[in-house]
């Protein structure tokens, strides 16, 4: 049936006659085709308009928006608009299961993300980090990262997106994205008294209230967060009004959190883009616990996918009349592409995979926002702090009871962290920022990349490097975060790496892990920035309002480490290469810059295939990814509706 409507041209020609036939036919066939509410299916039963691989943030945002007008496709002939009873149907195939609503998922203070980590993913030995090997952490659950992440909800800055745009992507500036940020979200204001006491401020003009993604602020804060706030201020970091208004300057702020405010529970994509609409969407299906193994092509046209149970089993196929959309995240989308014959020719040949599109950039350009933990002891730390839930059973029980009665409680805060943070530009971090930048600029960009890097990928890297170095001199670009959880650790997040890694298949078995190499800190400038951030952290801890707590930086760090080299050596033994913000492995860049997708997410060299997940980012931003992924999902949904004249978009 949907085949008959496959291309717009085919039904534009015989529109009127066809309309009647389609209408009658679908009305008759509909009860068999699809149930009357969104459905968790155990097997794909028919063909769909769109098949989405991966039910994370991007996948579920798209599935929700593409199914929201079940009357579907509209046909405009001159001034006459005909609406067919043509159902847009969407199938999401997600490798992980539905969560069970455990406390570890829903209750921030009981945060237990490991419930749904992707199993058996490890990095290659990290040559920049003392050859250490790490688990590569990403989600395997309906909702993807949003179901298990730390709920930090931050947009990038004006500079971030304008540089994406300058890399050859019209339509990706701040002004283009802002309407989608607003559309995606529903911000709940904190109580005025809490806002005053906890230094929570925001710019009302850039906060949305009518979208599905709920966020607010924890309704509690630890007293030590004030000591840190005042110390950061006296170390020269100013409070900023709103981290999410494009911020031309960096500074300190209260962290917005993906909380459904009335219950202080997590607002995940599963809840806000599936559960919310499940009762009214016969055309929205999710097949959980199944892994997409391959995209199927007819010539260069993507027509379907193969999939199998994530635990192993028989391979099945399902077909899409319009498009296949990959939303499997930065570690798995390149794997699916490569298994499907889209990727570096040499790699595909090695595994005897027929080349559909030779795209050297698939799997390249891997980035993350690595982290460093600095342990401290205190002689006079304040009670309560983020460790009290763990060490004091009375306090724990008291706070849990308060939370369950919907009163202010430490359980509204993700465990082990605090409620405020600093975002720093390089000039906020070190007075040497011009020297650091000049040194990096003088370096041959290819110097620390793998020797056999593809020429176009190298050109793309050079362009990105030029942009990143401009950011190093820009007050509006965050290069790092500093955080103190109010207990035993300070944290550094490095936001803008110059090092680049890759993801590559290691087998044609779709259930086998790909090779993952972040190549973290292979470019020495990354370590230089870390050292600068580390010194800034020390400066904060040396201010009177932190000193009253009696902090001592302890092993493997400590006072004995004074030179840059001493500090860097310990860092190479302690940096964690991933904050699970992996990105950029199917980059939105021109093909001559090693790009994989165009500015509307279409994979080069084929038709009917897009990449929706964070793989499409060209570079990391001055923030965590979630807010931008929800907005990008909204933006892509609109451009797909425009293209196929869906839901009134003609
Ligand atoms: C532990 C953790 C903490 C984090 N903390 C934060 C935070 O505080 N703030 C923030 O902004 N970001 C955070 N992130 C990052 C953020 O959640 C991700 O960047 C974001 O979810 C990426 O969205 P996505 O749609 O690209 O992919 P994801 O949300 O990762 O979704 C991809 C989905 O595809 C599925 N999949 C993969 N391969 C296949 C396949 N072959 N077939 C079918 N399905 C497949 C996966 O199971 C997954 O559910 C965190 C992530 C993790 C894991
Ligand atoms: C689904 O699509 C495939 C390939 O386009 C086609 O061969 C098949 O007949 C379709 N099946 C159904 C149930 O529509
Ligand atoms: C926004 O969130 C609040 C709090 O959960 C809720 O009461 C309100 O109905 C939501 N608004 C919309 C438009 O969904
Ligand atoms: C909030 O800011 C004020 C003024 O700078 C400061 O006195 C107070 O300690 C801060 N409190 C917190 C919780 O940050
Ligand atoms: C443990 O928590 C209780 C309840 O908040 C508190 O009264 C007590 O002082 C705490 N004990 C310690 C050692 O901090
Ligand atoms: C890659 O494949 C080789 C050969 O099958 C195997 O020995 C190795 O363990 C694999 N590496 C990873 C990281 O899975």
Protein residues whose CB sits closer than 6 Å to any atom of ligand 5? 383, 392, 394-395, 398
Atom of ligand 3 nearest to the CA of 212: 14
pLDDT value, residue 74: 53
pLDDT along the chain (650 residues), means of 10: 31 30 30 51 81 98 91 52 67 98 98 95 98 98 98 98 98 98 98 98 97 98 98 98 95 98 98 95 95 98 98 96 98 99 98 98 98 98 98 98 98 97 98 98 97 97 98 97 98 98 98 98 98 98 98 98 98 98 99 98 98 99 98 98 86
Please tell me if the CB atom of residue 389 comes closer than 6 angstroms to any atom of ligand 6.
Answer: no
Give residue 121 CA to ligand 1 midpoint distance, Å.
14
Any bridge partners for residue 215, and if so which? 187
Q: Tokens for 398?
A: 């008291």
286 lines ligand 1 (CB under 6 A): no
Cα-to-centroid distance, 380 and ligand 5 (Å): 15
DSSP states along 521-576: T-SHHHHHHHHHHHHHHHHHHTSHHHHTT-EEE-TTS-TT--SHHHHHHHHHHH-B
CA atoms within 13 A on the CB side of 548: 10
Report the candidate in 135, 132, 126, 137 with the shortest Cα–Cα distance to residue 518: 126
Predicted local confidence at residue 592, as pLDDT: 98
pLDDT value of position 9: 32
β-pair type (301-309, 316-326) = antiparallel
Q: What confidence score (pLDDT) does residue 40 get?
A: 77
> From the CA of 395, how far away is ligand 5's center (Å)?
6
Q: What is the pLDDT of residue 86?
A: 60
Identify the nearest ligand to the CA of 216 by its number: 3
User: What residue's CA is closest to ligand 1, atom 8?
Assistant: 150
Cβ–Cβ under 8 Å, residues 82 and 74: yes
Direct distance between the N- and C-terminal alpha carbons of the chain, in angstroms, rounded to an integer: 22
User: Closest Cα partner for 562 from 523, 528, 531?
Assistant: 531
Q: 141: annotated binding-site residue?
A: yes
Is 152 annotated in some ligand binding site? yes
Do residues 51 and 320 make contact, with C-beta atoms less than 8 angstroms apart? yes
Neighbours of 495 (CB within 10 A): 26
Instruction: Supply the DSSP symbol for 588.
Output: B
* The predicted structure's pLDDT at residue 250: 96
Handedness of CA 275, 276, 280, 286 (dihedral sign): negative
Is the CB of 19 inside a 6 Å radius of any atom of ligand 6? no
Atom of ligand 1 minimally distant from the CA of 117: 53
Alpha-helical runs (H) found in 72-118: 103-106
- CB count within 10 Å of CB 186 equals 18
Q: Which ligand is nearest to the CA of 514?
A: 6
| Cβ of 305 less than 6 Å from ligand 1 | no
Residue with tokens 């085919």: 10
Contacts of 298 (CB under 8 A, 6+ apart): none
Q: Which residues line ligand 2 (CB under 6 A)?
A: 46-47, 303, 319
- Look at residue 114 in the predicted model and tell me its pLDDT: 93
Q: Which two tokens stand for residue 299?
A: 């010539």
- Annotated binding residue 292: yes
Q: Does 151 appear as a known binding residue?
A: yes
Closest residue by CA, ligand 5 atom 11: 392
């Amino acid at each position: 049936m949907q085949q008959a409507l496959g291309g717009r041209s085919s039904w534009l020609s015989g529109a009127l006659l066809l309309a009647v036939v389609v209408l009658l036919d679908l009305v008759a066939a509909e009860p068999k085709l699809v149930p009357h509410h969104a459905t968790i299916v155990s097997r794909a039963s028919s063909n769909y308009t769109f098949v989405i691989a991966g039910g994370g943030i991007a996948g579920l945002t798209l599935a929700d928006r593409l199914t929201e007008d079940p009357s579907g496709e509209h046909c405009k002939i001159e001034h006459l608009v005909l609406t067919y009873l043509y159902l847009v149907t969407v199938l999401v195939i997600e490798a992980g299961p539905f969560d069970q609503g455990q406390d570890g998922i829903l209750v921030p203070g009981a945060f237990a993300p490991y419930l749904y980590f992707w199993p058996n993913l490890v990095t290659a030995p990290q040559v920049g980090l003392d050859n250490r090997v790490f688990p590569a952490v990403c989600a395997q659950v309906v909702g993807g990262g949003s179901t298990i992440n730390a709920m930090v909800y931050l947009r990038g800055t004006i500079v971030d997106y304008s540089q994406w745009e300058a890399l050859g992507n019209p339509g990706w500036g701040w002004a283009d994205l802002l309407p989608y940020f607003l559309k995606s979200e529903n911000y709940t204001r904190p109580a005025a008294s809490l806002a005053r006491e906890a230094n929570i401020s925001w710019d009302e003009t850039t906060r949305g209230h009518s979208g599905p993604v709920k966020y607010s602020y924890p309704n509690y804060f630890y007293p030590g967060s004030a000591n840190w706030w005042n110390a950061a201020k006296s170390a020269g970091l100013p409070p900023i009004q709103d981290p999410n208004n494009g911020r031309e300057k960096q500074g300190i702020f209260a962290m917005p959190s993906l909380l459904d405010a009335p219950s202080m529970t997590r607002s995940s994509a599963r809840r806000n883009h599936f559960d919310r609409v499940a009762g009214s969407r016969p055309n929205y299906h999710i097949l959980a616990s199944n892994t997409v193994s391959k995209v199927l092509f007819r010539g260069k046209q993507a027509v379907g996918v193969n999939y199998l149970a994530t635990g192993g089993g028989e391979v099945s196929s399902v077909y899409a009349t319009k498009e296949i959309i990959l939303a499997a995240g930065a570690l798995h989308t390149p794997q699916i592409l490569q298994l499907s014959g889209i990727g570096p020719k040499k790699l595909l040949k090695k595994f005897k995979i027929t080349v559909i599109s030779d795209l050297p950039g698939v799997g390249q350009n891997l980035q993350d926002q690595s982290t460093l933990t600095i342990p401290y002891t205190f002689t006079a730390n304040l009670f309560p702090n983020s460790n009290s839930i763990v060490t004091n059973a009375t306090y724990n029980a008291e706070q849990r009871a308060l939370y369950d009665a919907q009163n202010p409680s430490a359980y509204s805060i993700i465990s082990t962290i605090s409620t405020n943070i600093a975002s720093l530009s390089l000039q906020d971090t070190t007075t040497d920022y011009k020297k650091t930048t000049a040194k990096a600029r003088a370096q041959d960009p290819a110097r620390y990349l793998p020797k056999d890097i593809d020429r176009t990928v190298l050109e793309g890297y050079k362009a990105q490097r030029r942009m990143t170095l401009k950011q190093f001199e820009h007050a509006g670009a965050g290069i790092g975060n500093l955080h103190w959880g109010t207990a035993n650790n300070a944290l550094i997040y490095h936001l803008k790496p110059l090092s680049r890694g890759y993801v590559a298949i290691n087998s044609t078995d779709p259930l086998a892990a790909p090779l993952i190499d972040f190549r973290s800190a292979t470019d020495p400038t990354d370590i230089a920035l870390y050292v600068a951030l580390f010194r800034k952290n020390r400066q904060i801890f040396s201010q009177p309002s932190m000193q009253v707590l009696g902090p001592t930086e302890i092993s493997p760090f400590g006072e004995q480490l004074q030179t840059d080299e001493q500090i860097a050596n310990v860092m190479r033994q302690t940096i964690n290469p991933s904050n699970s913000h992996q990105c950029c492995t199917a980059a939105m860049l021109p093909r001559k810059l090693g790009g994989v997708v165009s500015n509307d997410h279409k994979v080069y060299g084929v038709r009917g295939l897009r990449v929706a997940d964070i793989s499409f980012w060209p570079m990391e931003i001055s923030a965590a990814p979630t807010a931008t992924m929800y907005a990008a999902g909204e933006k892509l949904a609109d451009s797909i509706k425009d293209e196929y004249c869906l839901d009134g978009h003609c």
